[in-house]
């Protein structure tokens, strides 16, 4: 047994050994502390720029463990972080000095083929969810990297290849099991605790620990998709075409616009290695025998320099970029929503896109129109239903020595484009940008979120997130 005393740990000096030992003895999963050999490995999150040192990490085995952690943190006034997949841009799945509820052991997935639903525990990654639902010939709309956590992605909204057809992940959420700040376990759905259910759909980790989600399943199995790239010189022309196309396209055609650098290894053709490109990563879910016909006019706009678009199982598309971006890289994120994309904005995109400072740096522009825009902006906490795009600019490199230049590029790019944005940004693409940005994101839903936060978490126990502060009495 680890004999580290909590008195020696910053932030937890008020606890005695007995309280810690009692707490540890209730946990069915694993308790990991700084003296443990796996501490450094366990505290790592996806973004290598984040280097936090929690006092205790609890890998919860079950809901009872989560409840024990919530009660222990609340009763002893310990900072509490919740870790789903650990992918958060700003590293909000971990904290310094506090207690981390790590859900990575809680991975149950149950499909009900008759009801067309899937129940997913809070520690699942998207690739695990996709693999399970694919076997049933269906999918839940989610993100474009398999290594992302279902939990954090969903609670922030959840956008990806199926957004235009089936909406955001939250639009497909039917129920959540939540451990509240007072340690009780409740269900949130349209009929039970509907205010909590409203807030969970976009309000992030502010309201409790979601131990499991129940999603509606939709048909999607083998899609026609993948990346189609053009030389960076064609950026302005292709972005204009993309905007005209994707704002009117049938909803079974999804594709996000990107700037990227072609990796220097197969299967990428040698003559394109390390070339900066613009591109669209497509996902067409319509009839496969019609796909070539659907994409013929797209290919005719301008011959792609690289065309990897073809039929593939949806999990293959959803994990296509996982290997290119392993955990531990340095990521600096800037984001905005955009409604319009006028000529000036397109020219600025083309200028900064051609100036990407490192081979892994990128810009993604995800369409959030189609089915996602048909939900009323006050029906869930996610207030950005009238945006056409969630834009994210990411300066990325393995070497921290390059952080100055990746950060400068991302900030300059964002500053130039921000005047053309819709106000606010997708909370899952933001680092720490302060309360005003959070308010701008939630718009006229913010006040209601504060009310619900005050009701369910009046002491702001859950504050390692894009925090909605409760009203102080």
Ligand X SMILES: Cc1cc2nc3c(=O)[nH]c(=O)nc-3n(C[C@H](O)[C@H](O)[C@H](O)COP(=O)(O)OP(=O)(O)OC[C@H]3O[C@@H](n4cnc5c(N)ncnc54)[C@H](O)[C@@H]3O)c2cc1C
Chain residues in the site for ligand X (CB under 6 A): 46, 82-89, 92-93, 103, 122, 143-145, 148-149, 151-153, 155-160, 204-205, 209-210, 325, 428, 464-465
Select the residue whose beta carbon is closest to ligand X and give its number: 152
Least separation, in Å, of the C-beta of 308 and ligand X? 18
Least separation, in Å, of the C-beta of 28 and ligand X? 18
Give Cβ neighbours of residue 184 (< 8 Å, ≥ 6 apart): none
Question: Measuring CA to CA, how many Å separate 43 from each of 21, 48, 362, 447?
Answer: 21, 11, 26, 34
Nearer of residues 31 and 155 to ligand X, judged by Cβ: 155
- 156, exposed or middle or buried, with CB in 10 Å at 0-12, 13-18, 19+? buried
Q: 232, 187, 210: which is closest to 84 by C-alpha?
A: 210
Nearer of residues 234 and 260 to ligand X, judged by Cβ: 260
Least separation, in Å, of the C-beta of 317 and ligand X? 11
Q: What is the DSSP string of 296-331?
A: HHHHHHS--SEE--EEEEHHHHHTTTTTTS-TT-EE
Nearer of residues 103 and 234 to ligand X, judged by Cβ: 103
Least separation, in Å, of the C-beta of 312 and ligand X? 17
Nearer of residues 31 and 329 to ligand X, judged by Cβ: 329
Least separation, in Å, of the C-beta of 327 and ligand X? 9
Least separation, in Å, of the C-beta of 246 and ligand X? 16
Least separation, in Å, of the C-beta of 231 and ligand X? 25
Structural tokens at position 403: 């952080």
Least separation, in Å, of the C-beta of 233 and ligand X? 27
Nearer of residues 54 and 93 to ligand X, judged by Cβ: 93
Least separation, in Å, of the C-beta of 460 and ligand X? 13
Question: Measuring CA to CA, how many Å separate 203 from each of 152, 168, 453?
Answer: 10, 14, 10
Contact indicator for 101, 211 with CB cutoff of 8 Å: no
Residue 136 CA to residue 120 CA, distance in Å, equals 15
Structural tokens at position 363: 């810009």
Nearer of residues 28 and 302 to ligand X, judged by Cβ: 28
Nearer of residues 94 and 345 to ligand X, judged by Cβ: 94
Structural tokens at position 376: 């009323």
Q: 434, 436, 428, 394: which is closest to 414 by C-alpha?
A: 394
Q: 110, 126, 127, 130: which is closest to 118 by C-alpha?
A: 110
Nearer of residues 44 and 231 to ligand X, judged by Cβ: 44
Residue 154 CA to residue 157 CA, distance in Å, equals 5
Nearer of residues 4 and 62 to ligand X, judged by Cβ: 62
Q: 344, 229, 211, 324: which is closest to 275 by C-alpha?
A: 229
């Amino acid at each position: 047994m680890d004999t580290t005393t909590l008195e020696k740990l910053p932030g937890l000096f008020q606890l005695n050994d007995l309280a810690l030992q009692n707490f540890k003895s209730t946990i069915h999963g694993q308790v990991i502390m700084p003296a443990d050999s796996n501490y450094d490995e366990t505290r790592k999150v996806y973004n290598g720029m984040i280097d936090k040192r929690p006092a205790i990490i609890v890998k919860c085995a079950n809901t009872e463990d989560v409840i024990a952690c919530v009660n222990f943190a609340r009763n002893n006034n310990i900072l509490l972080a919740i870790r789903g997949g650990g992918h958060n841009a700003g590293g909000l799945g971990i904290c310094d000095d506090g207690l981390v509820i790590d859900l990575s052991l809680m991975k149950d997935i149950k499909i009900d083929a008759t009801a067309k639903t899937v129940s997913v525990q809070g520690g699942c990654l998207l690739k695990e969810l996709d693999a399970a639902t694919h076997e049933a010939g269906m999918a839940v709309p989610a993100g474009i990297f398999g290594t992302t956590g279902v939990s954090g992605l969903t609670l922030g909204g959840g956008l990806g290849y199926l957004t235009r057809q089936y909406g955001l992940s939250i639009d497909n959420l039917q129920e959540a099991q939540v451990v509240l700040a007072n340690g009780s376990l409740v269900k949130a759905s349209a009929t039970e605790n509907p205010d909590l259910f409203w807030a969970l759909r976009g309000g992030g980790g502010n309201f409790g620990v979601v131990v499991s989600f129940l999603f509606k399943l939709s048909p999607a199995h083998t899609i026609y998709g993948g990346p189609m790239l053009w030389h960076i010189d064609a950026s302005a022309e292709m972005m204009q075409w993309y905007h005209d196309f994707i704002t009117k396209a049938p909803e079974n055609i999804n594709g996000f616009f990107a700037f990227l650098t072609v990796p220097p290894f197969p299967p990428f053709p040698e003559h394109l290695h390390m070339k900066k490109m613009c591109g669209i990563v497509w996902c067409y879910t319509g009839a496969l025998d019609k796909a070539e016909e659907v994409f013929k006019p797209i290919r005719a706009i301008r011959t792609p320099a690289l065309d990897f678009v073809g039929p593939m199982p949806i999990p293959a598309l959803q994990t296509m970029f996982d290997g290119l971006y392993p955990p531990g890289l340095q990521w600096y994120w800037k984001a905005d929503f955009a409604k319009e994309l006028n000529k000036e904005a397109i020219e600025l995109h083309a200028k900064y896109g051609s100036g990407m400072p490192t081979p892994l740096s990128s810009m993604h522009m995800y369409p959030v129109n189609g089915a996602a825009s048909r939900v009323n902006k006050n029906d869930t906490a996610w207030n950005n239903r009238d945006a056409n795009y969630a834009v994210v600019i990411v300066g990325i490199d393995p070497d921290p020595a390059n952080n100055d230049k990746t950060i400068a590029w991302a900030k300059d790019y964002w500053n130039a484009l921000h005047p053309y944005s819709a106000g606010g940004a997708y909370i899952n693409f933001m680092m720490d940008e302060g309360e005003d940005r959070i308010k701008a994101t939630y718009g006229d839903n913010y006040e209601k979120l504060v009310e619900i936060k005050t009701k369910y978490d009046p002491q702001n126990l859950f504050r390692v997130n894009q925090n909605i502060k409760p009203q102080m009495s």
